[in-house]
Structure 1
Amino acid sequence: MILLSMIDFSLPLTDPVLKFLLILLIILAAPLLLNKLKVPHLLGLIIAGAIIGPNGFNLVLRDSSIILSGTAGLLYIMFLAGLEIDMSDFKKNSGRSLVFGLYTFIIPMILGTVVSIWILNFSTLTSILLASMFASHTLIAYPIISKLGISKNNAVSITVGGTMITDTLALLVLTIIVGIATGNADQTFWIRLSISVIIFALFVLLVFPFIGRFFFKRVHDNISQYIFVLSMVFFGAFLAQLAGMEAIIGSFLAGLALNRLIPQTSPLMNRIEFVGNAIFIPFFLLGVGMLIDYRAFFTSFETIKVGVIMIIVATAAKYAAAWLTQKTFRLSVDQRSVIFGLSNAQAAATLAAVMIGYNVILGTDPDGAPIRLLNESVLNGTILMILVTCTIASFSAQKGAHNLAIKETTDGDKKKENQNEHILIPVSNEETVEELVNLSLAIKSKNNTNGLYALKVIDNNNTDDNTVKISQQILQKAVSTAAATDTFIKSLLRYDLSIANAITSVIKEREITDMVMGLHKEKDIPAAFLGHIVEGVLHKSSVNIFIYKPAQPLSTVKRHIVLIPESAEKEVGFISTINRVSNIIQNTGAKIVFYGSEGSLAVVKKLLKKTPGETSYITFNEWDDFLIVFRDIKTDDNLWIILSRKEGISYTPAMSRIPGYLNKYFQSNSFVLCYPIQAAINEGTRYFT
C-alpha cells in the first residue's frame, strides 16, 4: 500500500503518474475552454506548455519523455500531411507546388538576408542561415485543416507540396552553411550529400510501397498494422538523418509512399489520426510551449529587437508568397488564408536550425566567451517568433478552412444525393465481412454516415441458439469495422424461409439504392455462377448491385479496371454506378482504367470531369473476344465488370461466358460484378436513381 506521504508533490513533478495526469487534463481542457473564446486549441496547448514549463510555474520539466513524445508528434504531423494528400491531385498540382515552394523559399531568403546584414549587422553566413529559418515552416495548423475535412482542397495540396520543397531547400542551406562555417565543405562533402539525398528519396518512395503492400496482404491484425505504420514513419525519419537531412523530410516522404495503401475511409487511417491527434501532436505542442522563456524579453532589449524583426520579416515574406500564389493561380481569398496559415508557422525546422547554429562555435572573443554562428538573442528571438507565428497561423488557417468547409458542404445536389443513398450489405461469412464493409465504405458518398445497413438472414428451419449467436457475431463484426472509421452501420437480423425474399423485403422497407454482396465460397464459379440467392435478388430487386469476391485487401489494390459493355450508358442506373466507382478514386487514391465503347467512355469522361483522381480510358468493343482485356491485368489489379440482366439494353450473350473466363484466368485477383439499376420490366416495380 502506497501512503500519501510517500508521493513526491515537489516541483517540478517527478512522479510519472502525476505528470501524465496533468498533461492529459491540459490536453482535455484546452479545446473545451478555448473553443468558447474561438481560440484554436493548438495555440492553447502551446500557451499551456509555456505556463507549466520550466520558464513558467515549473510544474513539468521538458525532459526526455516530453522530447520523445514531442518528436513523435512532429513526425506525425508531417506524416499525416503526406498520407492525407490526394496523390492524383498532388501530381496534377506539382507544378503549382513547385512555384509556391520557390516563392516561399526565395522571398524569405532574399528579404531575410538583406535585413540581417543591413539592420541586424550580422555576418553573411549568419544572415543566410537566419534567412533559411524564415524560409522553412511547419504544418502546425494542419490538424485544423484535417478536422474540417478540406485536406483535399487545391490550396492544401499546393501548400503541402510546397512545404516539402522549401523545407528541403532550407535544411540543405543549413547543412551547407554549417559545413562552410566548420571548414568541412570540401569536394567530398558535396558528392556525399548529393548521393545520399538521391539514394534516400528513391529508397523511401520506391521500396516503402513494396514493403507496405507485402505486409498488408499478409497481416490483418489491427494492432500489428498500426505498429507497422508507426515503424515506417520513424524508419523514414532515421533514413533522412542518415542522408544528412532533418527527420521531418523522411516522415513526410513515408506518408507519400504509404498514401495509396491506407485509404481515407479505412479503419487504419482512423486509428492513425486518432492516436496522433489525441496523444502525440498535443505532446509536441506542449513541448514547443515549454521552450518559451518570458524573462528573456524583459531582461534584454536586443532579444526583443531581434525577435520583433524576425517576426515581421517571417510573416511579411510568407504572406507575400501566399499572395503571389493566389494571384498566379487565381485562387480565392479563403484559399490564400489557408496557404498563409499553413506556411506561416515556424517550429520544427526553425528549431532545428537555431539549435544547430547556436551550437556551432566559430571562436572566442577577447574575454574568452564563445562566438556562436547564431547568438543567444537569435535563440530567444526564435522562441518569440515561434509563439507569434503559430498564433497568426492558427487563426488564419482556421478562418480560411472554416469558410472553405462551409462552401463545400452547401453543395445542394451532393447533399441531396448523400441523403438518398442507402447501402445494404447482406453478410453470411465472417471471413469476408470486413472486406465487404470496406468496399461499401469506399463506394459511399463522403457525407453518408448513417445510410449503411448490415443484414443477416437466418433460415426459419434452423433457429437454434448457436446459429443465432454466430449470426449476431457476424453482424457485430460488420458494425465494429465501420465504427472504426466513425461510420454507423445499422444491423438487421431477419428470419425467413427464403434469403432472397428477406433481402428484397429489406430493400423495399429501407429504400435501398445500392447493395454490396459477397460471392459464394466455392473455389470454382459454376455455370450459374452467382448462386440462387444472388440470382433471386437480381430478378426481384431494383438497386445497383455490387457482387464482390476479394482476393486481397482493397487497400493493396494498385489499379481498378472497369469494363463497360456497349450501350451501358443508356441504362437507368449507369450514372449512379459510375458515381460509386468514382468514389473509389477519392477514397482509396488508386488508379482507374475504363474499357468501353467511345460513346460509353464519353459519358464517363463527362461525369468524372471534375472528380480528382488518376483515370485513363481505353476504347474496347470486342466483348466476344473478352480475353483481350486479361492481357492487361496485373497482380494487384481489381476488375470491375458492369453487366446487365438478360432483359437489359446493354445485355450481350458474351456475358454468359464470363464465369469460365474468371475461373480460368482470374482466380488470384479480386473482382466486382456490377449490375446497375435497369428500366422496370414488371409493372409496379420501383427503381431508385
Structure 2
Amino acid sequence: MALFSPILPLHEPLSIFTAIMGIVLISPFLFKLVKIPDVASFIIMGVLVGPYGLNILARDSSIELFGTVGLLYIMFMAGLELDPEKLKTSRKSSIVFGLATFIIPFILGLLVSKNILQLENQATVLVSIMFSTHTLVAYPIVRKLGVNRDVSVLTAIGGTIITDTLVLLILSIATQNFQGNTLGFEVLKLVLYFGIYTFLIFYFFPIIARWFFKHIKRDRPVHYLFLLFMVCISSFAAERIGTEPIIGAFMAGLALNRSIPKNSLLMHHVDFVGNILFIPVFLIGIGMLIDTRVLISGPYLWYVTSVLIATAFAGKWLAAFISQKMLKFSNIQRNLLFGLTSSHAAATIAIILIGYEKHIIDIAIFNATVFVILVSSLVASFITEKSGKRIVLNSSFTNETKHSERILVPISNPLNMANLIGIATCFQKLNQTEPVYVINILNENRSSRENILKIRESLETNVAEFNNLNETLKVITRVDLSISSGIIRAAKEYMATDIVFGWVEKSTTSQRLFGNIFDHLLTSQQTLYAINMNRNLTDFNKFVVHIPSNLEHEPSFVSIIQKLNKLPKPDDQLVFEIENWAELPNIKTTIPKKNKHKISFKTNGFGIPGNKPDEIHVLFLLRKQSVSYNLKNNTAVKELISKEGFNNQIIVVPGYE
C-alpha cells in the first residue's frame, strides 16, 4: 500500500534530483515550441512543480543551496562577459549612456514607487535600482547579424559595466539595517571597506590566477574548481565587509575575465556547468516562490505588474533617447541601444530575491517583477532583431574579407573525400598561409588505439595521394560521443570559419525529431558548405549560384562569393541567378576584374532549378535571425533537397563571425 500512498511533495534526495534533472532536460524543448526563452521556461516550470502549483517539489534546503550557488554563478558569469576593454573603444559614449541608463530609470523608479505604489523607503530604493539594471539578453542576436562592432552596441556593452556596478554598490547600502544616528558613519565605513576590498580583489586575483594556470597543468578539471573557489572566497569576503555575496561574485568575474580566454576550454566548462545545472535550478527555485493564489486574488497584482512594466520600458527608452541626442546617434541606433538594454534578467532576479528574502518587498512586487523579466526579455529580443536588421540593410556595402580564414573538412569515409578536399583546397587558395584541416570523428565504441591509428593512416595515405597536397592539409582524428558535437568542438578549437562536409542522406523520421548532423551544425556560427554530388568536381561544366535577397548584407557574403568564384575551371561557366536585381553591383565588386570564367547574371526568384547532368546548383539555407532570413527561400531550398534524383548541389549556410 505504501507504493500508492501520497508521496508529494517529493522528499527523498534521489527522487528530488531526478525530478529536477527531468525538468532541466525537458523544459527548453517544450517551451521552444511557443518561442519562450530558456530563462522564462525554467521559471514557469518552477511555478508548475512548486508548492503553489502541482506541489511536486518543496523548496527545501537542497533547492536553496543550488539556488544560492546559481545566483552567485549568474553574477560571476556576468562579470566574466563584461570585458572592460570594450569600454576603451567607446569610452565617451559608454560613460554618457552608462550614467543615463542608471540615473533616469532610478529617478523614474523613485517617483513611481513612492507616489504610485506607496512603498516604504527601503523598498522604494530597491525597486528603483531594479529599473536601472539590465542584462544583455539579446546580445547574441547582434552577433549573428554582424553589427556587434557598431558604436551603439559598444556603447550598450560599456554602459552595462557602469550601470551594473553602480546598481550593486547601491544595493549593498540599501540592504543594510543602519540606525538613523549612525547612518553617515556606517555608509562611510562601508565605502571604505568596499574600496579596500575592490583593490585587493582586482590586484591579487589576476596574479593568483596567472600563477595557478601556469604551474598547475596536470589536471585540467582543477582549473574549474579553482575558479569556483575564487568565486566563493570573493563572495564570502564581500559578505564579511557588509555587502551582498552577489557583489563579490560579480567582482570576481570582472577581476578574472582577462585571465580566461573567451574561446578556451575552461570558459566552455564554466558555461556548460552553469547552464546545465546551477542556473536552471536557481531559476526553478525562483518559480517555486511565486504564489499563484495572488494571481486570482484581485486586480492589485495586475495593476502593480502593469505599472512596473511600463516604468521599466519608459526608463530605458528615455535613457536611450537622451543618449541619442547627446551622442548624435541615428534613430535606428537609438532603438538598438534601447533593445539591448531593456531586458531585465540576471541582476534583476538577484536584487528582487534579496529584497523578498529580507522582507523588504512583498509577494505582489516579487511576482510582478517576474512578469517584468518575462515580458522585457521577449520585447528586447524583438526590438534588437528588428533594429539590428535595419542597421545592416542601411549600412554601406563593404568588400572586406576575414584575414584569418580556416577551413575544416569532416571526413566519414577516406575513400570518398576527393570532392570535399577538392572544394576546400580551391577555397584555401584565398588564404595560402592556413592549411585545410581534415578531421575524422570516431564514436566512443570505435575508439580503440588500433582503430584510431588505422583510420588516421588511411586518411594520411589518401591525403598524400590527392594531387600531392599533403603540405597544405592537416589531418586530425578525434573521439567523441556525437559526430556533430565533435565537429563543432573542433571548429571552435581550431577557430574554423568555414566547414565543408558531405551531405547525401535524406532525413529519417527520428532525425527530423532530434536533428541530423546538418541540423546540429546549423547551431554553429561558421559558414557551412554541404556538398551533395554524384560526380567528380571537374566533370561539371556549369555552376549556377542562386542569390536570395539581402544576402549581400551577411558578414560572410564577400568570402562566400569569392570562394564560389574559385570553383569552376577557366573554361567553365558561372551563372548568378539573383532574386533582387539591385544587388548585382555588389556581387560584381567581389569578383576580380581579370576573371577568365564565363560569368553571367539573370533573375530567377525562388523557382526550383532544372537538373541537368553537367550543372551543379549552389543554394543558400539561411539561419533564423540572420539579416537575409527568408522563410520562402528556405522552403524552396528544402523542397529541392527532398526532390528525388536531384543530387548535384551545394547548400551554403552563411556564417555570422
Please tell me the TM-score bracket, short chain as reference: 0.5 to 0.7
**CA 1:398–1:179 in structure 2 vs 1: closer, same or farther (change >3 Å)?**
same
Aligned equivalents of 1:270, 1:408: Cα separation in 2: 30
Shift of the 35–419 alpha-carbon distance from structure 1 to 2, 3 Å rule, reads farther
Q: 2:377 aligns with which of 379, 386, 393?
A: 393
Structure 2 distance, partners of 1:67, 1:102, is 35
Q: Does 1:512 align with 2:512?
A: no
Code of the aligned partner of 2:211: F
Given candidates 64, 68, 72, the residue that maps to 1:71 is: 68
TM-aligned CA distance change 1:13 to 1:40, over 3 Å: same
Q: Which residue of 2 aligns with 1:348?
A: 350
> In the TM superposition, what is the alpha-carbon distance from 1:126 to its structure 2 partner?
4.8
The answer as to whether partners of 1:43 and 1:391 remain within 8 angstroms in 2 is no
Write the mapping of 1:258-657 to structure 2, written as runs, cut at 5 A: 258-299=256-297, 301-325=299-323, 328-329=326-327, 330=329, 331=333, 333-341=335-343, 346-356=348-358, 358=360, 374=361, 376=362, 379-397=363-381, 400=384, 404=388, 421=407, 451-453=436-438, 494=460, 508-509=468-469, 512=472
Q: Give yes or no for contact 2:168–2:247 (8 Å, CA) kept in 1.
A: no
2 CA distance for matches of 1:138 and 1:322? 15
Q: Which moved more, 1:345-354 or 1:121-130?
A: 121-130
Alignment match, 1:224: 222
Q: Distance in 1 between matches of 2:45 and 2:364?
A: 19
Output one character per residue of 1:582-624: Cα deviation in whole Å (capped at 9) or x when no partner. Answer: xxxxxxxxxxxxxxxxxxxxxxxxxxxx9xxxxxxxxxxxxxx
Contact 1:110 1:131 in 2 (8 A): yes
Query: Of 31, 34, 42, which aligns to 2:31?
Result: 34
Deviations 1:521-541 (A, max 9, x none): xxxxxxxxxxxxxxxxxxxxx
Q: Distance in 2 between matches of 1:147 and 1:80?
A: 21
Partner of 2:251: 253
TM-superposition CA deviations, 1:482-513 (whole Å, max 9, x none)? xxxxxxxx997647xxxxxx998789536838
The answer to whether the Cα contact below 8 Å between 1:337 and 1:400 also exists between their aligned partners in 2 is yes
* Alignment equivalent of 2:89, drawn from 89, 92, 95: 92
**Equivalents in 2 of 1:293, 1:89: separation in Å?**
41
1:196-211 matches, cutoff 5 A: 196-211=193-208
Normalised to the residue count of structure 2, the TM-score between the two structures is 0.57
Q: What residue in structure 2 maps to residue 165 of structure 1? A: 162
Shift of 1:332: 5.9
Partner of 1:195: 192
Going from structure 1 to structure 2, the CA distance change for 1:119 and 1:408 (only over 3 Å counts) comes to closer
Contact 2:236 2:248 in 1 (8 A): yes
Tell me the CA shift for residue 197 of structure 1: 0.9
* 2-structure distance, mates of 1:204, 1:14: 40
Matches within 5 A, 1:6-45: 10-45=7-42
Which whole-Å CA distance do the structure 2 matches of 1:9 and 1:156 have between them?
A: 54
2:114 counterpart of 1:117 = yes
SS of aligned partner of 2:36:
coil
What amino acid sits opposite 2:253 in the alignment? Answer: G
User: C-alpha separation between the residues in 2 aligned to 1:148 and 1:23?
Assistant: 35
Q: Could you tell me how far apart the structure 2 residues matched to 1:406 and 1:506 are?
A: 46
Q: How has the CA–CA distance of structure 1 residues 233 and 178 changed in structure 2, closer, same or farther, with 3 Å as cutoff?
A: closer
Distance in 2 of aligned mates of 1:275 and 1:150: 29
Deviations 1:243-299 (A, max 9, x none): 332222222222222222221222111111111111111112111211211212332
- Partner letter of residue 392 of structure 1? S
- The more displaced of 310-319 and 399-408 is 399-408
What's the offset of the Cα at 1:105? Answer: 2.1
CA shift at 1:349, angstroms?
A: 1.5
CA–CA distance in 1 between the matches of 2:274 and 2:186?
A: 37
- Residue of structure 2 equivalent to 1:54: 51
Shift of 1:389: 2.7
Secondary structure of the structure 2 residue equivalent to 1:169:
helix
CA contact (8 A) 1:102 1:165 kept: yes
Farther-moved stretch of structure 1 (287-296 vs 177-186): 177-186
Aligned with 1:452: secondary structure?
strand
Q: Does 1:127 align with 2:129?
A: no
Q: Judging changes above 3 Å, is the alpha-carbon distance between structure 1 residues 510 and 230 closer, same or farther for their aligned structure 2 residues? A: farther
Cα deviation per residue 1:67-110 (whole Å; 9 max; x = unaligned)? 22222222222222332344432332344333333222212222
Q: Distance in 2 between matches of 1:197 and 1:285?
A: 29
Give the TM-score normalised by structure 1: 0.55
1:440 corresponds in structure 2 to none
3-state secondary structure, aligned to 2:343: helix
Letter in 2 for 1:78: M
What is the percentage of aligned positions where both structures have the same residue?
Answer: 34
Q: Secondary structure at the match of 1:13?
A: coil
CA contact 2:69–2:278 (8 Å) conserved in 1: yes
Structure with max Cα Rg = 1
Which segment is superposed worse, 142-151 or 319-328? 142-151
The verdict on how the C-alpha distance between 1:385 and 1:144 changes in structure 2, with shifts beyond 3 A counting, is farther
Offset at residue 470 of structure 1 (A): 9.6
Contact kept? 2:68, 2:282, Cα under 8 Å: yes
Distance 1:81 1:228 in 2: 18
Change (3 A) 1:78 1:345: closer
Contact 2:201 2:234 survives alignment (8 Å): yes
**One-letter amino acid matched to 2:350:** A
One-letter amino acid of the counterpart of residue 452, structure 1: Y
Measured in 2, the distance between the counterparts of 1:148 and 1:240 equals: 39
* Alpha-carbon contact 2:126-2:174 (below 8 Å) kept: yes
Residues 1:399 and 1:24: Cα distance change in structure 2 (over 3 Å): farther
C-alpha distance after superposition, 1:568-593 (max 9, x if no partner): xxxxxxxxxxxxxxxxxxxxxxxxxx
1:23, distance to aligned residue in structure 2 (A): 1.7
| AA in 2 matched with 1:293 | D
- Give the drift of 1:421: 4.0
1:228 positional shift: 0.7
User: Structure 1: how far apart are the matches of 2:378 and 2:338?
Assistant: 14
Matched pairs, number: 442
RMSD (Å), alpha carbons: 4.5
CA–CA distance in structure 2, aligned partners of residues 18 and 130 of structure 1: 37
The answer as to whether partners of 1:116 and 1:122 remain within 8 angstroms in 2 is yes
Question: How big is the shift at 1:337?
Answer: 1.5
Amino acid at match of 2:69: A
Aligned twin of 2:646? none
Distance 1:506 1:416 in 2: 28
Q: 1:402 to 1:280 in 2, by over 3 A?
A: farther
Partner in structure 2 of residue 212 of structure 1: 209
Give the secondary structure class of the aligned counterpart of 1:260: coil
Residues in 2 aligned to 1:260 and 1:491: alpha-carbon distance in whole angstroms: 40
CA contact (8 A) 2:91 2:158 kept: yes
Post-superposition shift, 1:231? 1.4
